[in-house]
Chains A and B, each alone.
Chain A
């Protein structure tokens, strides 16, 4: 324990010196996040400084091995770092699908060469990744994917279409599920390949959402050539990696509190104000208390399940439970924020509402229980794999 005390002091000093003041304020939305990549424009000097300094320490990906650009920290040390960052309200230095998704998959399934090639640029915020999973005919039923990938001897040839590709128009590379054996059963015959979004034949078209924003794209591949050394894992065994990542994604979406991590009571009280120390609307007050109990219990459940998984029990289908519950909870949270904001929350444009940020984020949360498998699909998974219901 004393080691951590020392480490904590070190971290604290380093953060005090290296985290710019501007990076110690809450982000007003996902748009404030630092995503990195070739096309990314830093919002401010401070944002760039903060990312570079953290990347140099390996602390954009604290637990990854040092040789791959990480900090080589143990989980306990990473916790210390996270809590020290939280203490000074430091923003996340770098957000990316490379960090959250591809990285963990490569660390588990990639070759040493693949890790050396792809992980350090993720850690340094140089390459931004997107995920090519869903297709027009393969949403909840992901394994029905049709994007064709042919072995042409010295390269792969890819043809097909993806949809709901997050930030494909802003990404540099894609990790993509493709069908390499059309004759095999649907879960077999899928492979996991990586390629550059600048490869000729790749086109990403943003989809406009109900929020008016376009975080997702339709992505088209026409005779796209990919290097064969960028096949991750074995040919036709990509579903294993896909499943691993889906589990990971569910945890991530489930755990996404949104941009504003303050307790819901604090947000609501800040919006409507207190009268005699109470929220004046008794029904709203009750709903807030209920949501707070659920958020607290849910957060503990995330911790408990991850601790159990670490102790050897596989998280398995419980990731569906976490995803289901967490996303429904997040939707409730934004409903309450909209209830509290009333007329003000309905503004769509203008500086007063930061261009309708609350309303747009509220609309965005509606997708939480659809993406990564709908709530209904998660309930099916729980029924089948945990409750072992007949015919499920």
Chain B
């Protein structure tokens, strides 16, 4: 059932493990941060990821992708999580590719999918408007205007929005905020008149953007999918995002845990290794158990995504819920169990805590997922 990796999947996982540890370790994120890098990730790395087939992981061969599938995408995301790798993988290879796969016309697919797979085009999903993930609350308007639409409103937390070559914008063409009906997706060039982009540095040293749209004119062929019926495609995009983030968090949380247990095995106080204290042992053993439980949840979510079952929403929400809360625990316990050095910038554990805080928030935190789960299950 996908709970045990096949030989091929194991190979991909090991390949990704070696690749990211070698090409994009946490040190790279520090350099990007310390140099106040304008892009916020390493473009050379993204090129290499494209060559490895990572950028086209969800894109079929016909459109130049490697078509490896969701399990593989998750295994790649896990290794990126482990190394705190900054890249447009989530924004472009997962979110945009899913948007085009699910909603794109033949022409749109032909135009954009090969450019995503080759690493040439970076795309960003302009969805969020409020403090918390809430797609139905989308308020940004798209009014019919001449041959096309006029967009007005603002977006936030647009991952890679400061460097994207193309936006996928979620706007309301009918209905009211609070409803998934009446939403429409648009492919929009960031250079279009009326768009103001503010790069926002986030706590995890990654980038996203706040974007204002003022009377932004787009053609009718900019519509991705059907007018007013973007909700279903959007759900698929968000679902893909949740699954990939859950997989990333498995890596991030797992690595935070590994560094913590490595540390307490060595660190001495009162003449002994602090790892010999049962107070720390039991918390470590508990966290180990939680992370093992998490791995199963992620594997199941990825399997469900690959089966493309409409039934994947529940397992994906469950995995994101579980990973949201356990990775947070791993980050918190990590800093606490490192003691004083856990508060210093020198040690990586703080970087993990910060990335976890961001990733668990994306596409809804654990509370949000559980609310969704309860609703889906009818209680």
Q: Are A308 and B4 in contact (CB under 8 A)?
A: yes
Known pairs A292-B377, A293-B322; A300 contacts B276 (CB<8 A): no
* B272 cross-chain contacts in A, Cβ below 8 A: 390-391
* A296 cross-chain contacts in B, Cβ below 8 A: 297, 315, 318
Known pairs A279-B374, A289-B370, A321-B292; A379 contacts B281 (CB<8 A): yes
* B280 cross-chain contacts in A, Cβ below 8 A: 389
Q: Are B285 and A387 in contact (CB under 8 A)?
A: yes
Pick from B286, B292, B374: contact of A265, CB under 8 Å: B374
Interface size on B, as a range, is 35 or more
Q: Roughly how many angstroms separate A387 CA and B275 CA in the complex, as a whole number?
A: 10
Q: Are A300 and B297 in contact (CB under 8 A)?
A: yes
Question: SS class of chain A's interface: helix, strand, loop or mixed?
Answer: helix
* A387 cross-chain contacts in B, Cβ below 8 A: 261, 281, 284-285, 288
Interface residues of B in 286-310 (CB under 8 A from A): 286, 288-289, 292-297, 299-300
Q: Are A376 and B318 in contact (CB under 8 A)?
A: no
Known pairs A286-B367, A380-B281; A297 contacts B296 (CB<8 A): yes
Question: Taking the complex as formed, is B196 at the interface, i.e. its CB lies under 8 A from any CB of chain A?
Answer: no
Known pairs A293-B318, A296-B318, A390-B265; A304 contacts B284 (CB<8 A): no
Q: Roughly how many angstroms separate A297 CA and B379 CA in the complex, as a whole number?
A: 19
Question: Taking the complex as formed, is A339 at the interface, i.e. its CB lies under 8 A from any CB of chain B?
Answer: no
Q: Roughly how many angstroms separate A324 CA and B261 CA in the complex, as a whole number?
A: 20
**Measured between C-beta atoms, what is the minimum distance from A93 to chain B in Å?**
27
**Measured between C-beta atoms, what is the minimum distance from A62 to chain B in Å?**
21
* B4 cross-chain contacts in A, Cβ below 8 A: 304, 307-308, 311
Question: Taking the complex as formed, is B90 at the interface, i.e. its CB lies under 8 A from any CB of chain A?
Answer: no
Question: SS class of chain B's interface: helix, strand, loop or mixed?
Answer: helix
Interface size on A, as a range, is 35 or more
* B370 cross-chain contacts in A, Cβ below 8 A: 286, 289-290, 293
Residue in A closest to B284 when the chains form the complex, CB atoms: A387
Question: Taking the complex as formed, is A277 at the interface, i.e. its CB lies under 8 A from any CB of chain B?
Answer: yes
Q: Are B275 and A318 in contact (CB under 8 A)?
A: no
* B261 cross-chain contacts in A, Cβ below 8 A: 387, 389
Q: Are A297 and B374 in contact (CB under 8 A)?
A: no
Residue in A closest to B318 when the chains form the complex, CB atoms: A293
* B3 cross-chain contacts in A, Cβ below 8 A: 300, 303-304, 307
Q: Are B289 and A304 in contact (CB under 8 A)?
A: no
Question: Taking the complex as formed, is A382 at the interface, i.e. its CB lies under 8 A from any CB of chain B?
Answer: yes
Question: Taking the complex as formed, is B44 at the interface, i.e. its CB lies under 8 A from any CB of chain A?
Answer: no
Q: Are B273 and A390 in contact (CB under 8 A)?
A: yes
Q: Are B281 and A392 in contact (CB under 8 A)?
A: yes
Q: Roughly how many angstroms separate A298 CA and B370 CA in the complex, as a whole number?
A: 17
Q: Are A379 and B285 in contact (CB under 8 A)?
A: yes
Question: Taking the complex as formed, is B373 at the interface, i.e. its CB lies under 8 A from any CB of chain A?
Answer: yes
* B191 cross-chain contacts in A, Cβ below 8 A: none
Known pairs A292-B377, A297-B318, A304-B299; A383 contacts B284 (CB<8 A): yes
Question: Taking the complex as formed, is B311 at the interface, i.e. its CB lies under 8 A from any CB of chain A?
Answer: no
Question: Taking the complex as formed, is B282 at the interface, i.e. its CB lies under 8 A from any CB of chain A?
Answer: yes
Question: Taking the complex as formed, is A209 at the interface, i.e. its CB lies under 8 A from any CB of chain B?
Answer: no
Pick from A297, A311, A383: contact of B282, CB under 8 Å: A383
Interface residues of B in 1-21 (CB under 8 A from A): 1, 3-4
Q: Are A376 and B282 in contact (CB under 8 A)?
A: yes
Q: Are B275 and A390 in contact (CB under 8 A)?
A: yes
Residue in B closest to A269 when the chains form the complex, CB atoms: B379
Top 10 A-B pairs, shortest CB-CB distance: A391-B276, A300-B296, A382-B285, A289-B370, A383-B281, A304-B3, A379-B285, A297-B297, A390-B273, A301-B296
* 10 more A-B residue pairs beyond the given contacts A278-B374, A290-B321, with a C-beta to C-beta distance below 8 A: A286-B370, A297-B296, A300-B3, A300-B299, A380-B282, A382-B285, A383-B285, A387-B281, A390-B272, A391-B275
Could you name 5 residue pairs across A and B whose Cβ atoms are closer than 8 Å? Answer: A263-B377, A293-B321, A304-B296, A383-B281, A390-B275
